[in-house]
Amino acid sequence: MILTTRCKEAIKTALAMTIAYGIALSMAWDRPYWAGLAVAVVSLSSIGQSVNKAAFRMFGTLVAMVVSLVIIALFAQQRWAFILFLTAYAGFCTYMMSGSKRAYFWQVSCFVAIIICIDGGTDPVNAFDTAILRAEQTGLGILVYSLIAIFLWPSSSRDLFNAATTDLACSQSQFYQACLGLAKGQGDEQEIQRLAAQVVQARTRFDQLLDVAEIDSSEVWELRRPWRQYQRQDKELMQALERWRESLAEVQVLDLQRLLPKLETFAAELDGRLAQIARMLGGDAPERAPQGMDLPFDRDALGSLSHFQTAALVVSRSHMLQLEQLTRSMFETVSELKGFSTARASSSPSIRPTVLFLPDLDRLASVVRFIAIMGVVWLALIYVTALPGGVGLLAFAGSVGIIIANTPQLPVSVLFMPCTTSVLFAAIIYIFVMPKLSSFLGLGLLIFAVTFAICYLFAAPRQAPGKAVGLSLFVTMASISNEQSYNFLIVANTAMMFPLLFLVFGLTAYIPWSPRPERAFLRLLGRFFRSSEYLMSAMRWDTRRTPTRWERWKKAFYEREVATLPAKLATWAPQLDDWVLSTTSMEQVKALMTSLQVLSYRMERLLGECGSPQAQYLVEQLLEDFRAWRIGIQACFQQLATGPAARERETLRKGLNEKLELLEARMQDVVDKACGEQVSNHEAESFYRLLGAYRALSEALVYYAGDAVAIDCVPWREERFA
């Protein structure tokens, strides 16, 4: 009989759950369902994923033990101080969980600390026993499932990882070829957008499988540093390709073959390198090594261009030279990974800038909401007698509330049906089946059958939350122990506890901001343009004045806002409902998101060019002209902060074109008067990159305004009932 993968994984989880319960009961441990919970949450599709999550759960439990025992030891007799410090630690875990690769570690560290503290109460001995018991049960569940996963139908992610690496390399090669076609005037913008999305999906899958393959594949583990280096290089390559693609719109009108005589040879070499990288990742030896390439200008042809055309060409050429360096480094790294080269690939460790702590407003909002959830439950426990669930209400509020707070895009209503169904299913098992069991044989068969059914029915990755809720509520309501007793109040209290939890989640949903997707979308858009406005106002050319520490901190904060807000907006866009989009299509919203991401990239480029050494003579002569241009762009940002359709495309284009024409005329006069001693070739090229960054930002603003006009924001601002 051939079993499907779905059936095998369900059998492994059910067998591990049954054995974990059997061991815990045979050793007379209290609360054996903690071991069952550990099995339920670490059962994933591959050994690497399971071990990775198991490690986070175990380390999170150990950290929570220490923290909870310290809090109990210090504040056992001081109720409000006890609540304050426990809630503060839970808030810290909430902040660290959001956006972290170790999110599950912080989640476990939070709710386990709450469980130990409320179970331990004011008795230090009881608290210590509870902490040790929690660690023992968690370790037991993890150990049992790990051994079963290793010896029974082991599933490694190695083949999936190899396929993901090849798929990523091929996708990037196709994306490069499409961008090259665009440079020659033969590309299709929609096809390029499709390939870009395909590369993002391939890279996301590669990143996920690399974490897993390091654990369940000894070969990947031994070469983990080169693989991480390749991961960084791949990310840098995609960013460089995106910047190059953005710059092509400004040079398509130029005769690139005449301006860059070696363009065809240069492009063919890059294409060959990407093909060889994909070939090596597929297991085949490279056919040839990379050849050194340069991309010189035709100085005679360059002289016929305007200053802005020269600036656009310089920027596009600099991106292509960066691609040459990155592809060479990636070729060397992959050659080492696959054993085709004995020379170690040169690693260039990234230098992290030393900046102060930069808070994330959205993560702080998650903390505020989670503290509000915990505060409401704490007050209810103190001042409301006979509250359904008792201290268990606080444990559920902590474990579920931290997820609710960190995923504001997730409506609370989507959890209602899974929880209701799971409570009803567990109640039927508890009331009608379990009292008829008299030995562990029958109990074990029940545990196996229920676990298998839940895991089999909720086997799809998108059904993982339903699987976790179903297993968790079953083991919690069953309350299996050696001295088993049955009480209908357990079912009733649990059933009544969830409406209270959903009431608390609903009451705190608007803390600190509205959870409606359209309101969140507009709020984040406003933050993006206010941050951009500040960065433009801070862009001064007066080198005699050194910015203060506070000014540097603010600039670093707003730079990160501009860099991260487009991705945050992308998580809210799919949540917009049909009522909001009655006069706007989702395609128009996606186009707006694309133009906003381009605007973010070009702001980042402009800030980088402003920080590089420039031709001091040209800067001094054109200082007032650049300042006028900067103030104009700053005014555009200020108006766009009020809403997507705050500026018309043609009005904005006309105003920016007037400033560009004035600057072009002024530059011509200044450059004609400049002599060789005043401006070197290197300084002139650096200045042209700066000029190209300004022009690219202006063009991105115009395109954004055009996409924003199509968005009807009137329904977005209307009050309505859900």
**Whole-angstrom distance, CA of residue 717 vs CA of residue 584:** 14
The phi and psi torsions of 566 (rounded to 5 degrees) equal -55, -40
Buried b (16+ CB within 10 A) or exposed e, 634-654: bebbbebbebbbbbebeebbe
> What average pLDDT score do residues 26-32 get?
89
Question: What is the per-residue pLDDT across 168-194, written as a single tens digit (0 to 9) for each?
Answer: 888 888 888 888 887 777 767 677 777
Angle in degrees, 0-180, between the axes of helices 649-673 and 623-640, rounded to the nearest 10:
170
DSSP state for residue 1 in the 8-state scheme: -
Residue 621 has pLDDT above 80, yes or no: no
pLDDT: which is higher, 18 or 358: 18
Choice among 306-320, 374-388, 505-519 with the minimum mean pLDDT:
306-320
CB of 173 closer than 8 Å to CB of 271:
yes
> In 43-72, which positions are buried (b, 16+ CB within 10 angstroms) versus exposed (e)?
bbbbbbbbbbbbbbbbebbbbbbebbbebb
CA-to-CA distance for 343 and 359, rounded, in angstroms?
Answer: 43
For domain 517-717, give its CATH number from 1.20.58, 1.10.3470, 2.60.120, 1.10.10: 1.20.58
- Is 140 in a helix, a strand, or coil? helix
Distances (CA, A) of 453 to 442, 449, 450, 457, 471: 16, 6, 5, 6, 10
Q: How far apart are CA 478 and CA 430, in angstroms?
A: 6
Are 34 and 134 a contacting pair, CB within 8 Å?
yes
Residue 722 pLDDT: 54
Give the count of alpha carbons within 13 A of 452, CB side only.
14
Q: How far is CA 620 from CA 463, 537, 614, in A?
A: 62, 18, 10
What is residue 538's predicted lDDT score, i.e. its pLDDT?
A: 84
For residue 364, give both structure tokens. Answer: 């702080």
pLDDT for position 315? 79
Q: Work out the pLDDT band at 351, boundaries 50, 70, 90.
A: very low
Q: Which of 14-18, 394-398, 483-487, 584-588 is predicted most confidently?
A: 14-18
The confidence band for 122, taking pLDDT boundaries of 50, 70 and 90, is: low
Instruction: Write out pLDDT tens, residues 493-523.
Output: 888 888 999 999 988 998 988 888 999 999 9
Query: What is the model's pLDDT at position 91?
Result: 94
Per the model's pLDDT, the better-predicted residue between 81 and 310 turns out to be 81
Q: What pLDDT does 660 receive?
A: 67
Q: Which residue has the tokens 């499932």?
A: 145
pLDDT of residue 667: 67
How far is Cα 572 from Cα 370, in angstroms, rounded to an integer?
20
Of 580, 573, 533, 541, the residue nearest 697 (C-alpha): 533
DSSP letter at 432 equals I
Answer whether residue 36 shows pLDDT above 80.
yes
- Asked if residues 367 and 94 have their Cβ atoms less than 8 Å apart, the reply is yes
pLDDT tens figures, 481-499 = 888 888 888 888 888 888 9
pLDDT 10s digits, 683-722 = 666 777 777 777 778 878 888 888 888 887 777 877 765 5
Which range, 137-151, 291-305, 461-475, has the best average confidence (pLDDT)? 137-151
Please name which of 465, 462, 711 lies closest in space to residue 569, comparing C-alpha atoms: 711
User: pLDDT tens-digit profile of 191-213?
Assistant: 777 788 788 788 888 888 887 78
pLDDT tens, residue by residue, 68-96: 999 988 887 888 999 999 999 999 999 99
Q: What is the largest CA-CA distance in the chain?
A: 100
CB 428 within 8 A of CB 10: no
Which helix (H) or strand (E) element contains residue 574? none
**How is residue 583 written in tokens?**
């006069």
What pTM value is reported for the model? Answer: 0.82
Q: What is the mean pLDDT of residues 43-61?
A: 81
Residues 636 and 648: beta-carbon distance below 8 Å: no
SS3 188: coil
Give the pLDDT score at 352: 47
CA distances to 320, 517, 606 from 686, rounded to whole Å, are 16, 43, 12
- Is residue 93 within 8 Å of residue 370, measured between CB atoms? no
Neighbouring residues of 541: CB distance < 8 A, sequence distance ≥ 6: 619, 623, 626, 627
Per-residue pLDDT at 45: 64
**Whether 202 contacts 167, CB under 8 Å:** yes
Q: Give yes or no for residue 115 having a pLDDT over 50.
A: yes
Residue 579's pLDDT is 78
* Among 355-369, 530-544, 552-566, the range of highest mean pLDDT: 552-566
Q: How far is CA 151 from the centre of its chain?
A: 34
What pLDDT, on a 0 to 100 scale, did the predictor assign at position 90?
95
Residue 452 pLDDT greater than 50, yes or no: yes
Whether the Cβ atoms of residue 466 and residue 460 lie closer than 8 Å to each other:
no
Contact in structure between 663 and 690 (CB atoms under 8 Å) = no
Which band of pLDDT confidence, cut at 50, 70 and 90, is reported for residue 24? very high
Q: Taking a C-beta distance cutoff of 8 angstroms, is the pair 36, 141 a contact?
A: yes
Q: What is the DSSP letter of 431?
A: I
Share of the chain above pLDDT 90, in %: 24
Query: Which segment of 139-148, 531-540, 551-560, 655-664 scores lowest on mean pLDDT?
Result: 655-664
pLDDT band of residue 541 (cuts 50, 70, 90) is low
pLDDT attached to residue 671: 62
Return d(Cα 352, Cα 444) in angstroms, integer: 54
Alpha-carbon dihedral of residues 227, 228, 234, 236, nearest 10 degrees? -160
Q: Is 34 left (phi over 0), alpha (psi -120 to 50) or beta?
A: alpha
Domain boundaries, the chain: 5-155+361-479+488-508, 158-337, 517-717
Q: What is the 3-state secondary structure (H, E, C) of 46-93?
A: CHHHHHHHHHHHHHHHHHHHHHHHHHHHHHCCCHHHHHHHHHHHHHHH
φ/ψ (deg, to 5) at 547:
-65, 150
Q: Cα–Cα distance between 168 and 206 in angstroms, integer?
A: 7
